[in-house]
Structure 1
Amino acid sequence: MPKPIIMDCDPGHDDAIAIFLAAGSPEVDIQAITTVSGNALIGHTTRNALIIAEKAGLDHVPVAEGAGEPLVRTAVTAPHIHGESGLEGPDLPEPEKTVDTRHAVDMTAEMLFQADEPITLVPTGPLTNIAWLLKRYPAVKKNIAGIVLMGGGSYGNWSPAAEFNIYADPEAARIVFESGLPITMAGLDLTHQALAGQEEKEFLREAGTNAAAFTAELLDYFAGTYHSLFGFSAAPIHDACAVAFSIDENVFTTEHLPVTVETHGTYTTGMTVIDALQTTGKAPNVHVARELNQDMFWTMLKNALQRLP
């Protein structure tokens, strides 16, 4: 039976590819897509999620809008990486799919409480919605199989210490990391191993599906910003790594370690503090991603995109 998942995202080029990967993989069943402010403001990320869901053929999957602001901070976005819309590069049609009338947190809670089996949450943006879910509906924990998130790492891309998703709402991240739920963190140490270079883009252009061609366009823009900002020669597909682990846990290795989130550091706000040598004596709470099986990852993604329209 496919594993039920709920995707919480802020599309975002790599979020879009993550949705395509999940939609084209029979091993998982997307129950819902929820949106959060992050790569772009909430109106843009919701519109982008509707567009991508349409392109992936997810007509039956509800898309619900979530938090437009962090728990206690002012929203930050990443227009210099994803553009003002969050999905700059390809032409984006107006979506015909409409947003669910429920708030993302309420819809997620309702689906979890009504589920026949626990559902895995796959957040690939700031963790605001997940934190609100745990605060507002604490009884829902028993219905969550685990959380597989993209965020964090031993270094940052928004500051020297902080990865963007955690930096954007560190208070929410701390709530999630301290929730006691099974958490797998696909941070930058792992996702920077998932680089889409020229060979991968050429394959996508020749794959013959609209989803694959659209993905190649996304990667053209995304690779350009990563090259200009960080000197990367290829685009890291961060968010797809979290989905890949939800599909098959053999796609990367993990180490179970104590991890906390810094919320007040002068230079380290948003840092995921990974106690690699377990010096604090705290119990491990996060499965930290280490080594990506690149052959498996790219096979997963290519197969998924070839199954889509």
Structure 2
Amino acid sequence: MPKPIIMDCDPGHDDAIAIFLAAGSPEVDIQAITTVSGNARIEHTTKNALIVAEMAGLRNVPVAEGAGEPLVRTAVTAPHIHGETGLEGPELPEPEKIVEGQHGVDLTAELLLHAEEPITLVPTGPLTNIAWLLKRYPGVKKNIKDIVLMGGGSYGNWTPAAEFNIYADPEAARIVFESGLPVTMAGLDLTHQALAGDEEKEFLRGAGTKAAAFTAELLDYFAGTYRSLFGFFAAPLHDACAAAFSINENVFSTEHLPVNVETSGTYTMGMTVIDSLQTTGKAPNVHVARDLNNDVFWSMLKKALERLP
């Protein structure tokens, strides 16, 4: 039986690819897609999720809009990386798919409370929705199998210390990391190993589907911004790493370690403080991603794109 997952995202080029990967993988069953403000404002991330879900053939998967603001801070977005709409680059169709009337947090809670088996949550944006879920509906924890998230790392891409998803809502991240639930963190140390250069883009185009062609267009734009901002020769597929682990835990190795989230440091706000040598004596609370199996990852992604429309 496919593993049930709920994807919480802020599309975002790499969020879109994560959705394609999960949609084309028979090992998982996407129960819902919820959206959060992050890479772009909530109205854009929700529209983008509808577009991508439709392109992936997820006609019966509900898409629900979630939090448009962080728990206590002012929202930040990343237009210089993803464009104002969050999916700049390819021509975007108007979606026929309609957003659910229910708030994303409430929909997630309803699915969890009525689940026949525990569900894996796969958040690839700021963790606002997941934090609200745990605060408003503590009874759902028994039906959350685990949380596989993209965020954090031992260094940052938004500040020297902080990765964007954690920086955007560090209070929410702290709630999730301290929830007592099994948490796997695919941070920058891992996702910067999943680089899509020209060779990888041609490999993905070889899948021969509309989704594959769209993915290559996304990567063309995304690679351009990463080249101009960070000097990268290729685009990192951050969010697809988290989706991949929810499908196949052999895609990367992990180490169970204590991780804290800094919410007030002048230079370190949003930092995920990874206690690699376990100097604090605190119990490990996060499975920290370490080494990517590139052969498994790219094979998974291409096969998924081949299965899509």
- 1:188 counterpart residue number: 188
- 1:232 counterpart residue number: 232
Shift of 1:286: 0.1
- 1:170 counterpart residue number: 170
Asked whether the 8 Å contact 2:197–2:233 carries over to 1, the reply is yes
Asked whether the 8 Å contact 2:151–2:185 carries over to 1, the reply is yes
| Distance in 2 separating the partners of 1:206 and 1:5 | 28
Asked whether the 8 Å contact 2:156–2:162 carries over to 1, the reply is yes
- 1:300 counterpart residue number: 300
| Distance in 1 separating the partners of 2:202 and 2:272 | 35
Length-normalised TM-score, structure 2: 1.00
Deviation per CA, 1:103-137: give whole Å up to 9, x if none.
00000000000010000000000000000000000
- 1:255 counterpart residue number: 255
RMSD between aligned residues: 0.5
SS of equivalent to 1:200: helix
- 1:21 counterpart residue number: 21
Gaps of 5+ in 2: none
Shift of 1:200: 1.2
- 1:288 counterpart residue number: 288
Deviation per CA, 1:67-122: give whole Å up to 9, x if none.
00000000000000000000000000110000000000000000000010000000
Letter in 1 for 2:67: A
Shift of 1:206: 3.2
Residue correspondence of structure 1 range 270-281 to structure 2 within 5 A: 270-281=270-281
Asked whether the 8 Å contact 2:207–2:303 carries over to 1, the reply is no
| Distance in 1 separating the partners of 2:193 and 2:250 | 15
Letter in 2 for 1:50: L
Asked whether the 8 Å contact 2:190–2:290 carries over to 1, the reply is yes
- 2:82 counterpart residue number: 82
Residue correspondence of structure 1 range 59-138 to structure 2 within 5 A: 59-138=59-138
Gaps of 5+ in 1: none
Letter in 2 for 1:108: T
- 2:39 counterpart residue number: 39
Deviation per CA, 1:194-219: give whole Å up to 9, x if none.
00010111123332100000000000
Q: Which runs of 4+ in 1 moved over 6 A?
A: none
Shift of 1:306: 0.4
Letter in 2 for 1:129: N
Length-normalised TM-score, structure 1: 1.00
Residue correspondence of structure 1 range 213-232 to structure 2 within 5 A: 213-232=213-232
| Distance in 1 separating the partners of 2:239 and 2:203 | 20
| Distance in 2 separating the partners of 1:71 and 1:27 | 33
Aligned residues: 309
Asked whether the 8 Å contact 2:10–2:45 carries over to 1, the reply is yes
| Distance in 2 separating the partners of 1:27 and 1:230 | 35
Letter in 1 for 2:20: F
Deviation per CA, 1:42-61: give whole Å up to 9, x if none.
00000000000000000000
Deviation per CA, 1:263-307: give whole Å up to 9, x if none.
000000000000000000000000000000000000000000000
SS of equivalent to 1:254: strand
| Distance in 1 separating the partners of 2:45 and 2:30 | 18
Letter in 1 for 2:168: A
Deviation per CA, 1:151-191: give whole Å up to 9, x if none.
00000000000000000000000000000000000000000
| Distance in 2 separating the partners of 1:105 and 1:164 | 21
Asked whether the 8 Å contact 2:255–2:288 carries over to 1, the reply is yes
| Distance in 2 separating the partners of 1:159 and 1:116 | 42
SS of equivalent to 1:256: strand
SS of equivalent to 2:205: helix
| Distance in 1 separating the partners of 2:206 and 2:3 | 30
Deviation per CA, 1:236-258: give whole Å up to 9, x if none.
00000001101111110000000
SS of equivalent to 1:149: strand
Letter in 1 for 2:207: A
- 1:244 counterpart residue number: 244
Letter in 2 for 1:277: L
SS of equivalent to 1:288: strand
- 1:144 counterpart residue number: 144
| Distance in 2 separating the partners of 1:204 and 1:266 | 42
